[in-house]
Structure 1
Amino acid sequence: MNHDLAADLHRRAEQDQAARRLMLETGDGRGLVRVDADNTAWLRQAIATHGWLGISLVGEQGADEAWLLAQHADRDLDLQRQVLGLLQDAVADGEAQPRHLAYLTDRVLVAAGEPQVYGTQYTRAPDGKLQSYAVADPEQLDARRAAVGLESAAEYDRRMRGRDPEAV
């Protein structure tokens, strides 16, 4: 395991989450944009050097944090698409969690204006409430979610809305 790389991932993930909390508290997203840009550039370089930052390289927590940085690299859809391919292989090799692949799959599809597969991505409706982006084949949604270790869509929706002070 590469402990230095894992420590760097941990520090970056903490900065990611702190910037998101600050934006929610203050409405000021400038720090978030800066942190995301820095993390995205760093992740691109780390992948070029090491390949996907999987479990055997950076541990379970590090792999979670690598996925988090990729998930939040929204200003670099090419990187997210690259990571999506790397994650497919990593999941098959036991180097990444299937749920990471599900979340990033949905993120990339939504960015492309396509219906999501796993129902993980939400947006704010005109009335200010959270709503899921469109989902392909909604009748099979819970089966797809279960196959990658996610809770039911109804439970996820309750959890998402429970986190959102404006959802009620």
Structure 2
Amino acid sequence: MNFNDIADKIIGLKTRDLQLRTKLMEEGKLSDGYDKAMEKLHNSNAEKLDEIINNIGYPTIDKVGKEASEAAWLVIQHAIGQPSFMKKCMILMENAVYENKADPKNLAYLTDRIAVLEGRPQLYGTQFDWDENGKLSPNPLEDYVMVNQRRKSVGLNSLEEQTQIMSTLANRENQSPPQDSQKKKQDFEEWKKRVGWTK
């Protein structure tokens, strides 16, 4: 089995994802809900990565290298229309992190994203959204007191620092709060139900 070829394939999936994101950002479409072309690409990338995982197991750093392992995580993190795939990958990633073969920061992001999609509070404060005051803020947290300690344990900066970074990034990318936050929230809840995150 040629792990270099597999690594190149995984990096290619990430590249296509980021190219489309850049295009949508330039067109000012990043804040308009989940773009159909992006959803299609995320689902297609998830299917391709799932085939790779079924063949080689989780794409750990020792198998495919750091760049491809990071790329695999990004594809998983963006596969929000595939609940079963994301949950399967989280279990595989937990094992890989335990064996020091994957980055614990990436596991923290994936754990939080799944929690938010399931409507649960997040552990590490990695997931952000626009609040009712039009400010980019962390999604609800399970434990505000312990969050920075938990973040530090996996190598993340403080929540306060990350909030500032997210704000700066949103400004740089010309992202803005949705015109109708209630409608966006309602659409998101309906979408989560449709793809299987909630009942």
Q: Same fold (TM over 0.5)?
A: yes
What's the offset of the Cα at 1:126?
4.2
Taking only the aligned residue pairs, the percentage that are identical comes to 30
Alignment of 1:136-147 (within 5 A): 136-147=142-153
1:1-22 per-residue CA deviation (whole Å, 9 max, x = no partner) reads 7100111111111111111122
1:122 is aligned to 2:128: yes
CA RMSD of aligned residues (A): 1.7
* 1:85-104 to 2 correspondences below 5 Å: 85-104=91-110
Structure with max Cα Rg? 2
Q: How many residues align?
A: 168
Unaligned 5+ runs, structure 2: 178-199
Letter in 2 for 1:7: D
How far apart, CA to CA, are the structure 1 residues paired with 2:135 and 2:164?
13
Match of 1:10 in 2: 11
- Report the 3-state secondary structure (helix = DSSP H, G, I; strand = E; otherwise coil) of the residue aligned with 2:129: strand
Cα displacement string for residues 135-161 of structure 1 (whole angstroms, at most 9, x for unaligned residues): 111101000000000000000000000
Q: 1 CA distance for matches of 2:134 and 2:88?
A: 33
Q: Which has the higher contact order (CA 8 A, sep 6+)?
A: 2
CA distance in 2, matches of 1:69, 1:133: 21
Q: What whole-Å deviation, never above 9, does each CA across 1:51-105 have from its counterpart, x for those lacking one?
A: 1010111101111001000000000011111111001100011110000110000
Residue 185 of structure 2: aligned partner: none
* Residue 127 of structure 1: how far off its partner (Å): 4.6
Letter in 2 for 1:116: Q
Residue 94 of structure 1 aligns to which amino acid in structure 2? N
Q: Unmatched 5+ residue regions in structure 1? A: none
CA distance in 2, matches of 1:131, 1:153: 10
Equivalent in the alignment of 1:19: 20
SS in 1 for 2:65: helix
- The corresponding residue for 2:43 is 37
Describe the SS at the equivalent of 1:138.
coil
Residue pair 1:161, 1:167 contacting (<8 A) in 2 also? no
